[in-house]
Amino acid sequence: MKIFSIKVVVLTLVAIFIPAICVYSSTSFDLNKLTIALKNNNVDHVVTLLNDAKEFSNQEEIVQYINNLWVDKNAPPEVSNKLLHKSIIRINIADFLMQAYNNGNSTVHIQEIHKYAKLQLTSHKEEVVSMALFVLAQFNDENDLKLIEPFIFSKSDYLFRSAALSLAMMCNDKVDNRMEYLQKQLDSSRKHYLIETRKKFKKMKDNDGYCR
């Protein structure tokens, strides 16, 4: 069975998004580890485990557990509600659930996730904004282009690259033309990055199954 998973790999100061069509081969994800990290209020470990869980976003038990964290329902005892509502954790939960939805899980209600991701674009934390861009990209909504595009001109290279990758990921009728227009507005180094990113994702999009 093939599933789509998107995991974040941090290289130096740049978050690189790696979309992949993975053949599901691992046996399980250890929810106990996630529960322990939550109970210990270990934010970094929770984020790491949520990222690891994306490979298993087609497993009903894992999706239900993480969806319960999103809706504040049946959360494990001793897990702080304040922790679950930290923006960096909540946006990573949103990202996991979007991937579960795109892998065919119809129990995930995405309207609230869409609204939340748009709100997080104003966060003062770059890592939250970056993840919000990636979450929005998974909606493939042409109306979100105007929200993502301004970050192409961000003073932050981190957010510029996040926006470039987010646009390149999207599957809709307008995004390719918009990227072509935007690359003409950039200096040489950023223009090169946007062109190369666009090319790489175009190859993946040309494969059956990427844009569904």
Say yes or no to pLDDT of 19 above 50.
Answer: no
Which one-letter amino acid corresponds to residue 30? D
Q: 49 in helix, strand or coil? A: helix
Residues forming beta bridges with residue 8, ordered by sequence position: 17
- Say what the pLDDT of residue 11 is: 33
Q: 4 in helix, strand or coil? A: strand
In the 3-class helix/strand/coil scheme, how is 71-125 assigned residue by residue? HCCCCCCCCCHHHHCCHHHHHHHHHHHHHHHHCCCCCCCHHHHHHHHHHHHHCCC
For the stretch 68-101, pLDDT in tens is: 999 887 778 888 889 999 999 999 999 999 999 9
Give 107's pLDDT tier (boundaries 50, 70, 90).
confident
Name the CATH code of domain 2-206 (choices 1.10.10, 2.60.40, 1.10.3470, 1.25.10): 1.25.10
Q: How far apart are CA 30 and CA 50, in angstroms?
A: 11
Q: How far apart are CA 31 and CA 51, in angstroms?
A: 13
- Say what the pLDDT of residue 72 is: 80
For the stretch 42-51, pLDDT in tens is: 999 999 999 9
Say yes or no to pLDDT of 14 above 80.
Answer: no
